[in-house]
Amino acid sequence: MTSQQLKEEIKRIASELGFQRTVIASLEPMETERQEYERWLALGYAAGMEYLKRNPHFRTSPQMLYPEGRSAIVVSVSYYTEVPEPPPGFFGKVARYAVGLDYHVVIRAKLRELNARIEKLAGRKILAKAYTDDVSLLEQGLAARHGLGFAGRHTLIIGPQMMGTYNFVAELITELELDADEAYQGTCGKCFRCGEGCPTDAIEYGVGVNSNRCISYLTIENKGGIPLELRKPLGRWVFGCDVCQDVCPYNGRPNYSPWEEFSPERGAGHHLDLLSILNLKSEEVFRERFVHTPLRRPKLRGLTRNCLTVIGNILGDRSSETAASVSDVCRDDAVAKLFQFLETNPEDMLKEHAYWALAQHDDYKTRAKLKQAIDSEEDPNIRNLICAYV
């Protein structure tokens, strides 16, 4: 079998396994991509993600990641599922990629299966390592350099033939020497719907995403509080955000996920019961509830912070649409749960978010009780902060 025939067989097998697009990548350093990445870092747009700031040369040198490798099989698979109408009451939205099982585990298993099929085809053991969004590698740059798609203004890889952006990207770095594919020539043209639609203005034309303002960063990687000016724009997003993808013209005809592991029935689903999170008493209980799902990432502390913020946004939303799905009884129950939460003596950051959420509710009984609670606060810093918006 020639090298070209082997390459075509690999792509055929990958397709049989459900990968919707497969390309072969060189492991040569990505110099142009490194320069762009360093420029992005210099702007401070990596926010608090210190791991992104370490050694850009390593991140853009795939050979250093796995020295035994000679080429990379780069694949994409859709995670798209339809979002149903939210249940009535206090529910937050989960980004599509996170509604099912943890994609790291699922995709690595599929890549190991791909390598096993390649070994059977070749009739010998083949050294290979599977990666997906969990190592020091500029995956977007590698994928774009070899034609998996092109990087849109939102920095996501846009696949050809309207494959859109609702796709995971992953790599199988292999000892096989395979001819690399060329870049795919795609463009956003003059379109900037992703930036115009972003609730927090996190996308800058020609620059990329400012993580300091990105809802995905704020709700997942961010270890501190959510800045006051960004809480209302968060809307109902409790884990991640899909707005820049939802408005992208290339997502007009999205491919549905071929794997049932990414279905909402297997994981947390598209909508999260916010008040139930306030009842979780320990990190252990939290892990048990969200085992094998991406929602473990921010830990109980981070997800509780997100829930408090979204509860506040719902309490403050008096639109007819919200009024139809969130009754006064539901609001009263949420207010009671927030006061109960404060009685558990949460840490200052969570306490402040709970007070903020209560302050969004335009109800005289709530505000009177809130002022009493604040007056009894021993920490003057918390008291002064909350008094500013009560």
Is residue 92 within 8 Å of residue 239, measured between CB atoms? yes
Euclidean distance between CA atoms 273 and 165, whole angstroms: 27
The reported pLDDT for the residue numbered 100 is 98
Quick check: 200 pLDDT over 90?
A: yes
Amino acid at 104: H
Q: What percentage of the chain has pLDDT greater than the value 90?
A: 87
Token digits of residue 209 = 């995403």
Catalytic site positions? 133
Segments of 19-85 assigned E as strands: 21-25, 71-78
The dihedrals phi and psi of 217, each to the nearest 5 degrees, come to -65, -45
Distance CA 293, CA 231 (A): 25
- Residue range 219-267, pLDDT digits in tens: 999 999 999 999 999 999 999 999 999 999 999 999 999 999 999 999 9
User: Which pairing describes strands 167-174 and 128-131: parallel, antiparallel, or unpaired?
Assistant: antiparallel
Phi-psi region of 240 (alpha: psi -120 to 50; beta: other; left: phi over 0): left
Residues in the chain: 390
Average pLDDT over residues 281-298: 96
Q: What does the pLDDT look like over 54-76, one tens digit per residue? A: 999 999 999 999 999 999 999 99
339-370 pLDDT, tens digit per residue, is 999 999 889 999 999 999 999 998 889 988 88
Confidence bin at 162 (pLDDT 50/70/90): confident
With a cut of 90, say whether residue 379 has pLDDT above it: no
Radius of gyration of the chain (CA): 23
The 3-class SS string of 133-195 reads CCCCCCHHHHHHHCCCCEECCCCCEEECCCCECCEEEEEEEECCCCCCCCCCCCCCCCCCHHH
* CB contact at 8 A, 246 and 156: no
In angstroms, what CA-CA distances link 258 with 43, 80, 159, 328?
Answer: 38, 9, 16, 41
In the predicted structure, residue 289 carries a pLDDT above the cut 90: yes
Asked if residue 301 lies in contact with residue 309, where contact means CB atoms within 8 angstroms, the answer is no
Distances (CA, A) of 350 to 166, 278, 328, 337: 32, 11, 25, 14
Query: What residue type is assigned to position 14 of the chain?
Result: A
Top pLDDT among 370 and 298 is at: 298
Q: Is the pLDDT of residue 320 over 90?
A: no
What is the residue-wise DSSP string for 288-305? HHTTTSGGGTTHHHHHHH
Q: Is pLDDT of 386 > 80?
A: no
Q: What is the mean pLDDT of residues 205-223?
A: 97
pLDDT score recorded for residue 375? 80
Q: In the structure encoding, which two tokens stand for residue 161, read together?
A: 């033939």
Q: 227: which 2 tokens?
A: 């800045």
Please give the torsion angle defined by the CA atoms of residues 263, 202, 21 and 60, in that order, rounded to the nearest 10 degrees: -120
130 three-state secondary structure: strand
CB 273 within 8 A of CB 91: yes
User: Closest by alpha carbon to 20, among 254, 177, 182?
Assistant: 254
Question: What does pTM read for this prediction?
Answer: 0.95
As a whole number, mean pLDDT of residues 106-128 equals: 96
pLDDT band at 31 (very low <50, low <70, confident <90, very high): very high
> Distance of alpha carbon 270 from its chain centroid, rounded?
13
Closest CA to 166 of 108, 94, 250, 110: 250
Is residue 388 predicted with pLDDT exceeding 80?
A: no
Helix (H) or strand (E) holding 93: strand 91-94
Please report the domains of the chain, with CATH numbers, ordered by start residue: 3-80+101-174 (3.40.109), 198-387 (no CATH)
Nearest to 14 by CA among 115, 161, 145: 115
Task: State residue 66's pLDDT score.
Answer: 94
Q: Which two tokens mark 231?
A: 């809480």
* pLDDT of 385: 74
Q: Average model confidence (pLDDT) for the chain? A: 95
pLDDT value, residue 65: 93
At 130, give phi and psi (nearest 5°): -100, 135
pLDDT band for position 323 (50/70/90)?
Answer: confident
Query: Which pLDDT score, from 0 to 100, does residue 380 have?
Result: 80
User: End-to-end distance of the chain based on CA atoms, in angstroms?
Assistant: 74
CB of 53 within 8 A of CB of 46?
Answer: yes
Average pLDDT, integer, range 33-51: 96
